[in-house]
Amino acid sequence: MLVELTDTQNQPDERGIAIDRVGVKELQFPLEVLEKGGGKQRTVSTVAMAVDLPHHFKGTHMSRFVEVLHSHGTLLDVNNMSGLTAELLDRLEAERAHVSFRFPFFITKAAPVTGREGVMSYEVSFEVEASGQERDLMVTVHVPVATLCPCSKAISARGAHNQRGLVSFSVKFNRPIWIEDLIRLVEDSASCELYSVLKRPDEKEVTERAYDNPVFVEDLVRNVAARARAQDDIRWFRVEAENFESIHNHNAYAVVELPGGSS
């Protein structure tokens, strides 16, 4: 015989305080991501899901978040993300929902001279804010790059200091944009891109390439911003760059946030 159990979450709360977001986070979940070349890449994502909670409810139903996630399979695309938030709004009787997937994305790159292949890892995140029929999707790529200081090159007789930097590039778009294209846009904006495998001829090539293309952290974010504004499909973007300085006891930092080319 089934025994009716108390539903504590649905009991009233008398404090009169609504909660902006309540849900689950740091949930590990297998994922397949579409690649520009037509394949599907298997990876592991870290998921966060949340909804708002009216002031009169004591709690939300945490198990429903995981149930909804599992019901949508492991393939991540724009349609899946929209469907996931729509079901959260329905199942949890919420007005607003937020979902994010954070995962490593891998690209095989050939060294510039020898052609030796190696795998580069980039952190990517998909985030959706949903309210009613409105969906706001943002994609962020975190791209490591190399930069060489223009000032150091201008004043030094022998060389110039360089460093590795990290660019975080977030976009909202009118039509879906490939992860690979966002990464390429950032790498083309730096002094030089990074590789996982370099032999001596490759090392000579990337060192000289960076020397011929010096950029401040200010140049880096402006370069990304200029390329982003030229993309009609991008309606909003934010680019943040941090250089891990090689001769200073601090990092250099810059950020630009602007409407995209269609605005």
Tokens of 24: 């689950």
CA-CA-CA-CA torsion sign (210, 214, 216, 222): negative
Tokens of 211: 């020397």
Q: Please report, as a single letter, which amino acid is at residue 123.
A: E
User: E strands within 35-189?
Assistant: 40-53, 75-76, 96-110, 117-131, 134-148, 162-173
Does any domain span residue 109? yes
The angle formed by the CA atoms of residues 48, 54 and 56, to the nearest 5 degrees, is: 135
Q: Which among 98, 76, 92 has a CA at the least distance from the CA of 29?
A: 76
**Contact in structure between 162 and 148 (CB atoms under 8 Å):** yes
- Taking the C-alpha atoms of residue 241 and residue 225, their distance in angstroms, rounded to an integer, is 11
pLDDT in the model for residue 263: 46
Does any domain span residue 108? yes
With residue 132 as reference, give the H or E element that holds it: none
Does any domain span residue 7? no
Contacts for 70 with CB less than 8 Å, ≥ 6 apart: none
Does any domain span residue 202? yes
What range defines the domain where residue 47 resides?
A: 18-259
- Taking the C-alpha atoms of residue 247 and residue 47, their distance in angstroms, rounded to an integer, is 38
CATH code of residue 23: 3.10.270.10
Residues 15-56 have pLDDT tens digits of 888 888 999 999 999 999 999 999 999 999 999 999 998 777
Contacts for 119 with CB less than 8 Å, ≥ 6 apart: 106, 107, 108, 109, 196
Does any domain span residue 243? yes
Residues 123-163 have pLDDT tens digits of 999 999 999 888 999 999 999 999 999 999 999 989 899 99
Does any domain span residue 11? no
Does any domain span residue 1? no
Domain count, the chain: 1
Q: Specify the pTM.
A: 0.91
Residues 154-193 have pLDDT tens digits of 999 898 999 999 999 999 999 889 999 999 999 999 999 9
Does any domain span residue 8? no
Residue 253 reports pLDDT greater than 80: yes
Helices 179-187 and 217-229, packing angle to 10 deg: 140
